[in-house]
Structure 1
Amino acid sequence: MGAARSAAATAKPVGAARCAAATGQNEGVYVLVRRASDGEFLVDTLDEAGIPRAAVRRLTLSAFLSFVASVEPSTPAPRWVWDDTALIYPTLLAGGIRVRRCYDLRLCHVILKNSALTMTSELALAAPDRWDVASSPASDQAVPRATLFDFDATSVDDGTGESTAREFRRQLDAVASAGEPGRLRLLLAAESSGALVAAEMRYAGLPWRTDVHDLLLTRELGARVALGVRPERLETLAQCIRSELDDAALNPDSPQELIKALQRAGLAVTSTRGWELKKLQHPVIEPLLQYKKLSRLLSANGWTWMESWVVDGRFHADYVPGGVVTGRWATRGGGALQLPRQIRGAVVADDGWKFVVADAAQLEPRILAALAQDTGMARAGRGTDLYAGIVSSGVVETRDHAKVAMLGAMYGATTGESGRLMPRLARAYPQAIALTESAARAGERGEVVTTRLGRSSPIPGPGWHESQAQAYHQEATATDERRARSQARDWGRFTRNFIVQGSAAEWALCWIAEIRRELTALTIADAPPGLPGESGSRAERSASPGARAPFNSTPHLVFFLHDEVIVHTPAVHADAVVQIVTTAAETAGRLLFGDFPVDFMLTVATVDNYAQAK
């Protein structure tokens, strides 16, 4: 039951090296940037091997901004190499400067340190250092560990920037030593581009109308009251809950009190989770579920949230690229990844502007079809809703059945309706189901699985291995064996989904990177000759007084949620942006899977506020 490092459950490469080359990852020059402890910037150019071409220059802030502004327009654009995009790029944005490409050493380090493709590299075998402390992603969907935010860009500074240059060379060597370096180059480029997008979205902000937000909250909750006092509708529901449970002193916000009250009413409950409450039959259930829903709205996105997070008409979400172990993003407060429907109407485009909202339909099942090279599953989703296509193929009777079965395949549900339908799915799409089963078995053995481009799952912790070893001990009890089997199955469910969710995250990164690149090209094309992309008469006519330069007159990404994006654009560019977003999805599919015939379909809407898109 050892923890062998392997690339188990990785799809066969489909033109990965060709796709990586197509992104221009090896073109142009590297420019190494590091902020010194005295606040100045250490800058040097590097060759393709990461070797400095000349002595490091020390630049003041103003000199650094002038340098970047003068070098960035070069063709091809330089690739800026720095410790952490989140620490360097906001300074450039505040100076009105955007860059086209970068290489984020912190994000790339964690990928290369843990990838099965680079397991024999010097970087992977080296003892932990400051880069490892700085690069620990969360192992679940929650907020990342605090260490992810403790990265000190000035630590171990020798005054020359050599420590950063040395790390960059280690990373270049690790990629070069990989069996399929093209896959990793594409992943590192996409991850770094995602860091640029995250910084730009935080700086530009998501347009937000606090007056509309207040109206929506009042409609849902009642008039605003003092902090700590329940709004009218919540208090009415609380009184109803107390009446139904015959407990005048009950605090419905206390899970312990609520569980005891429900049990006294004859209900067998062990938690107050919504899914468990929905199984029960009692007059208190409906008002209780409504109370929980509205209470969540008040605490997560109520008036206090609005005053804390919306500044000058913009919600400045603090995204954390790579914050989840699968490569998905997390956020550091603000809940940008969970904006409830009740308040989406407050997300309002500026006058003369529009939102282009796009989300990828059934992204993870389509990723699974492409990973497994399952032409039957890909065919079911060609030009149509994938679940409807599965029904049309005669595999199951209803769309709900298709969805339940597919979720079971990707998340390991073996009981209930999903377990009943899984054999049909396996017969219809044997390659896809075999891929997820193989990944699950690898996880149960404690092995590593790897995504399409090269991000590998972590190995289980020491406690997991101890439990597995104990189960084989001659003195093992039935309890030991059950515990070991349960833990093995749990880890297998994790690795089963890791390859799909992680590969979907890679597709999404390529998608937003391509959107960003094409939006920049659209801006430049719209400008008169000789002027920067954000200038020009047409751009000036559509300029937004509520937006920050350099985003006050150009289409730009303002929101990203796993498989969904929002672009804020002058109305005159809306049709062009729709085309860019749609074409970018097709390009992302080709980058990951070459010519394999799988459709990545989008639902796209051009709207004045976010609520209109759903």
Structure 2
Amino acid sequence: MHLVARDLRTGGVAVTRIDDGDPAAATDERVIERGDWPAFVREVERTEPGVRWVWDDTTAWYPPLLAAGIRVARCVDLRLCHAILRSSVDTAGSALAAAPPGAWDAPIVVPREADAGAALFDLDADDTGDAERDPVVEFARQRAATSEATAEARSRLSLLLAAESVGALIAVEMTFAGLPWDARRHDELLTELLGPRPAPGVRPSLLQAVLDEVSAALDVGAFSPESPGELLRALQSAGIPATSTRSWELKEYDHPAIVPLLRYKKLARLHTANGWNWLDQWIQDGRFRPTYVPGGVVTGRWASDGGGALQLPHQVRSAVVADPGWRFVVADAAQLEPRILSAISGDAAMATAARGVDLYDGMVRTGAIDTRAHAKVAMLGAMYGATTGESGRLLPRLARAYPQAIGFVEAAARAGERRERVSTRLGRSSPVPGRAWRELQDQASGDASSEAIGRRARTEARNWGRFTRNFVVQGTAAEWALCWMASLRTRLTDLANGASLTGSAHLVFFLHDEIVVHCRAEQAERVVGLVRDSAAEAGRLIFGRAPVDFPVTTAVVESYDQAK
């Protein structure tokens, strides 16, 4: 049973029951007064455990419910599902995919703070809504689009839509719970690394001292290190033939300014990205509460809206401290993307190499590659399209050992070069390159083409091929991670046995292939088992009986830095 919720903007919520067997048959529509809405949801969750809520955007509907102490087990996030179905190759012939851009293609802007009498979100529609914005109509469109796919594609797409929607619930729950953060410890770290907190607009003393060391070594006069152009000119004036200020290039030069400059860049980034201003803005009541954006990247990976949640540097992770009597269970999926490639390509030899051991060690053990370091370099080159240097040299050997895996990503790359779309295991499809790319390819094949134009067109085609090569692997890895978290969320809810979200073990952080659970100390070992069980279930859900292991490493710690 599905319950479709629609905000009437007049103080109530319209709820329409839709039978699973007939998404077009809406029955029993009723209006719930806004003040009664939380109690209504609570009662439905208690008495109808299999119900799935259908709404426009989880970020609009779910936070008020969590604030009222109500957790939702299942939902359909129409915005996220619309984006998937709109672009999926499996639903390309549907009316939803063929429709011109409309209201469902634009994100809803949700006020961060709204009074209790305000609408859940602001839409330019009348109180009853219209067909364009009506969630009942949109839900029917989505079900129709899914039903037009083949049986196999429909099964996979249904799993993807469910995982994407539960991911939206998890994202809101993690923001609500917050990541425990010791502001005093963070301040101590900043003082130790940068010096005491300075006045606004002034560099911290230790950071300035490192910059003075750089300036003395360069001996070229004043320059602004924050300006790439000025820094590059200063380097070149000092006789360093740098073509950029990227750290990896600077490491190639032997000059007394390079070591302190690299240190300055690292400390300056800390000061800018996670310094005192960040601490004041983002840490409240001992919690870091960023806004996660599920599906924020075209591959399906998450993004974050402010706070840099997906880029927490190791320098500050010792400030992530569990509550007294609580622990963090930090879990990391080992070599996730290579294992995903093994499963999605059906390469039995690679699956055998990975079974029960470190994947790269397994490659060495079977004689495919001579060293673990070479195995890692070669595999990353295969997935990301590195054709030169050490990766390029090792790739033929990898292709001989694992022809199905390497052939799979090579085929995805060639498809991208032909401007074809590729898809993940569950059916999320890649975009196509834009008009400038198409015009360049057309120009290169025309009568007025030149060698320079042809060379540039080939380069751009290869670049897009590298994108599609990685899209199929990274996107499927994102799907696996969603299923991992969804399975774990269910298990943690059962473990809570009716306790509130933050009263028992709960997810507090997610970074692509790593999750952090905050739990009572006595729950930790149980949570470790649940994390591993969930990883195994995610593999079965997506790949069935494919002989690929998805092991996770776990650590039970009091502060995040202890896990690495």
- Please classify the TM superposition score into its range, dividing by the shorter chain length: over 0.9
- 2:183 corresponding residue in structure 1: 210
CA–CA distance in 1 between the matches of 2:56 and 2:25? 16
Tell me if the contact between 1:356 and 1:574 (Cα under 8 Å) persists in the aligned partners.
Answer: yes
Tell me if the contact between 1:56 and 1:160 (Cα under 8 Å) persists in the aligned partners.
Answer: no
- 1:168 corresponding residue in structure 2: 139
- 1:133 corresponding residue in structure 2: 106
Helix, strand or coil at the partner of 1:495: helix
Deviation of the 1:52 alpha carbon: 5.1
Aligned mate of 1:557, from 507, 512, 515: 507
Aligned mate of 1:154, from 123, 127, 133: 123
Tell me if the contact between 1:449 and 1:495 (Cα under 8 Å) persists in the aligned partners.
Answer: yes
- 1:46 corresponding residue in structure 2: 18
- 1:200 corresponding residue in structure 2: 173
Helix, strand or coil at the partner of 2:296: coil
Helix, strand or coil at the partner of 1:67: helix
CA–CA distance in 2 between the matches of 1:93 and 1:152? 17
CA–CA distance in 2 between the matches of 1:379 and 1:69? 48
The residue type paired with residue 582 of structure 1 is R
Identity %: 56
Q: Deviations over 1:10-40 (max 9, x none)?
A: xxxxxxxxxxxxxxxxxxx101112222343
Deviation of the 1:56 alpha carbon: 3.0
More displaced 10-residue stretch of structure 1: 350-359 or 161-170: 161-170
Identify if the C-alpha distance between structure 1 residues 584 and 398 changes in structure 2 by more than 3 Å, giving closer, same or farther: same
Aligned mate of 1:246, from 199, 215, 219: 219
Structure 2 unaligned blocks of 5 or more:
110-119
CA–CA distance in 1 between the matches of 2:451 and 2:346? 41
Deviation of the 1:480 alpha carbon: 1.3
Q: Does 1:516 align with 2:516?
A: no
Identify if the C-alpha distance between structure 1 residues 359 and 327 changes in structure 2 by more than 3 Å, giving closer, same or farther: same
Helix, strand or coil at the partner of 1:577: helix
Q: Where do 1:172-191 residues align within 5 Å?
A: 172-179=143-150, 180-191=153-164
Q: Does 1:103 align with 2:53?
A: no
Tell me if the contact between 2:412 and 2:465 (Cα under 8 Å) persists in the aligned partners.
Answer: yes
Q: Where do 1:358-373 residues align within 5 Å?
A: 358-373=331-346
Q: Does 1:66 align with 2:35?
A: no
Q: Deviations over 1:146-178 (max 9, x none)?
A: xxxxx9653445516761100000000111110
Deviation of the 1:265 alpha carbon: 1.1
Aligned mate of 2:247, from 249, 274, 279: 274
Helix, strand or coil at the partner of 1:604: strand
Aligned mate of 1:233, from 206, 228, 239: 206
Identify if the C-alpha distance between structure 1 residues 319 and 376 changes in structure 2 by more than 3 Å, giving closer, same or farther: same
Identify if the C-alpha distance between structure 1 residues 479 and 157 changes in structure 2 by more than 3 Å, giving closer, same or farther: farther
Deviation of the 1:458 alpha carbon: 0.4
- 2:555 corresponding residue in structure 1: 605
Tell me if the contact between 1:34 and 1:161 (Cα under 8 Å) persists in the aligned partners.
Answer: no
Aligned mate of 1:574, from 489, 499, 524: 524
Q: Deviations over 1:172-217 (max 9, x none)?
A: 0111110121000000000000000000000110000101111111
Aligned mate of 1:36, from 4, 8, 20: 8
- 1:545 corresponding residue in structure 2: none
- 1:78 corresponding residue in structure 2: 51
Structure 1 unaligned blocks of 5 or more:
1-28, 137-150, 525-532, 535-549
Tell me if the contact between 2:220 and 2:237 (Cα under 8 Å) persists in the aligned partners.
Answer: no
Q: Deviations over 1:487-542 (max 9, x none)?
A: 11010000000000000000000000001010001112xxxxxxxx01xxxxxxxx
Tell me if the contact between 1:109 and 1:135 (Cα under 8 Å) persists in the aligned partners.
Answer: no
Helix, strand or coil at the partner of 1:568: strand
- 1:544 corresponding residue in structure 2: none
Aligned mate of 1:224, from 197, 203, 211: 197
Deviation of the 1:135 alpha carbon: 8.9
Tell me if the contact between 2:220 and 2:238 (Cα under 8 Å) persists in the aligned partners.
Answer: no
The residue type paired with residue 359 of structure 1 is D
> How many equivalent pairs are there?
549
Aligned mate of 1:335, from 294, 304, 308: 308
The residue type paired with residue 609 of structure 1 is S
Q: Deviations over 1:278-329 (max 9, x none)?
A: 1111110000000000000010001110110011000001000000000000
- 2:370 corresponding residue in structure 1: 397
CA–CA distance in 1 between the matches of 2:11 and 2:209? 56
Deviation of the 1:86 alpha carbon: 0.5
Helix, strand or coil at the partner of 1:73: helix
Q: Where do 1:290-439 residues align within 5 Å?
A: 290-439=263-412
CA–CA distance in 2 between the matches of 1:500 and 1:107? 20
Identify if the C-alpha distance between structure 1 residues 298 and 272 changes in structure 2 by more than 3 Å, giving closer, same or farther: same
Helix, strand or coil at the partner of 2:550: coil
Q: Which has the higher contact order (CA 8 A, sep 6+)?
A: 1
- 1:7 corresponding residue in structure 2: none
Tell me if the contact between 2:57 and 2:108 (Cα under 8 Å) persists in the aligned partners.
Answer: no
- 2:261 corresponding residue in structure 1: 288
Root mean square deviation of aligned Cα: 1.5
CA–CA distance in 2 between the matches of 1:444 and 1:399? 31
Q: Deviations over 1:575-614 (max 9, x none)?
A: 1111111100000000010011101111100110101101
TM-score, length basis structure 2: 0.95
Tell me if the contact between 1:42 and 1:161 (Cα under 8 Å) persists in the aligned partners.
Answer: no
CA–CA distance in 1 between the matches of 2:6 and 2:288? 29
CA–CA distance in 2 between the matches of 1:264 and 1:403? 38
Identify if the C-alpha distance between structure 1 residues 77 and 253 changes in structure 2 by more than 3 Å, giving closer, same or farther: same
CA–CA distance in 2 between the matches of 1:155 and 1:493? 41
TM-score, length basis structure 1: 0.87
Tell me if the contact between 2:328 and 2:557 (Cα under 8 Å) persists in the aligned partners.
Answer: yes
CA–CA distance in 1 between the matches of 2:77 and 2:284? 28
Tell me if the contact between 1:44 and 1:52 (Cα under 8 Å) persists in the aligned partners.
Answer: no
Deviation of the 1:132 alpha carbon: 1.6
Tell me if the contact between 2:2 and 2:19 (Cα under 8 Å) persists in the aligned partners.
Answer: yes
- 2:89 corresponding residue in structure 1: 116
Deviation of the 1:380 alpha carbon: 1.0
CA–CA distance in 1 between the matches of 2:121 and 2:384? 37
CA–CA distance in 2 between the matches of 1:350 and 1:332? 26
More displaced 10-residue stretch of structure 1: 57-66 or 379-388: 57-66
- 2:534 corresponding residue in structure 1: 584
Identify if the C-alpha distance between structure 1 residues 294 and 39 changes in structure 2 by more than 3 Å, giving closer, same or farther: farther
Identify if the C-alpha distance between structure 1 residues 52 and 156 changes in structure 2 by more than 3 Å, giving closer, same or farther: farther
Helix, strand or coil at the partner of 1:565: strand
- 2:115 corresponding residue in structure 1: none
Tell me if the contact between 2:182 and 2:321 (Cα under 8 Å) persists in the aligned partners.
Answer: yes
CA–CA distance in 1 between the matches of 2:563 and 2:24? 49
CA–CA distance in 2 between the matches of 1:562 and 1:511? 11
